[in-house]
Amino acid sequence: MAKRETIETLFQMHMGFVRSACLYAAVKLEVADLLADGPRPVEHIAEATGVDVAMLYRVLRYLASDGVFEERPRREFALTPLSQMLRTDVAGSFHPFAIVNSENGFEVATQLLPGMRDREIPFVKRFGKHPFEILLKDPASAALLERSWQGVHGPETPAVLDAYDFSSVRKLADVGGGHGDVMVGFLERDPARRGAIFDIPPVAAQTKKRLDAAGLGARCEVIAGDFFKEIPVDADAYFLRHILHDWNDDECRKILRNIAARCEPGDRVLIAECVIKAPNTPDLGKLLDMEMLLFLSGWERTELEYRALLESTGFRFARVVPTDSMVSIVEGRFAG
Catalytic site positions: 245
Inter-helix orientation angle 3-14/16-28, to 10°: 40
Give the Cα-Cα-Cα angle 106, 27, 55 (nearest 5 degrees): 85
- Local structure of residue 275 (DSSP, 8 states): B
User: Does residue 159 contact residue 243 with C-beta atoms inside 8 Å?
Assistant: no
User: Does residue 239 contact residue 220 with C-beta atoms inside 8 Å?
Assistant: no
Give the Cα-Cα-Cα angle 105, 207, 165 (nearest 5 degrees): 90
Give the Cα-Cα-Cα angle 49, 50, 53 (nearest 5 degrees): 90
User: Does residue 85 contact residue 45 with C-beta atoms inside 8 Å?
Assistant: no
Rounded CA separation 227/246 (Å):
13
**Other CB atoms within 10 A of residue 114 CB:** 12
User: Does residue 298 contact residue 246 with C-beta atoms inside 8 Å?
Assistant: yes
Rounded CA separation 96/143 (Å):
10
Q: Where are the beta strands (DSSP E) in the chain?
A: 40-41, 69-72, 76-79, 171-175, 194-199, 220-224, 237-241, 268-273, 315-322, 328-334
Rounded CA separation 85/91 (Å):
8
Say whether 77 sits in a helix, a strand or coil.
Answer: strand
Cα-flanking dihedrals φ and ψ of residue 321, to 5°?
Answer: -105, 115
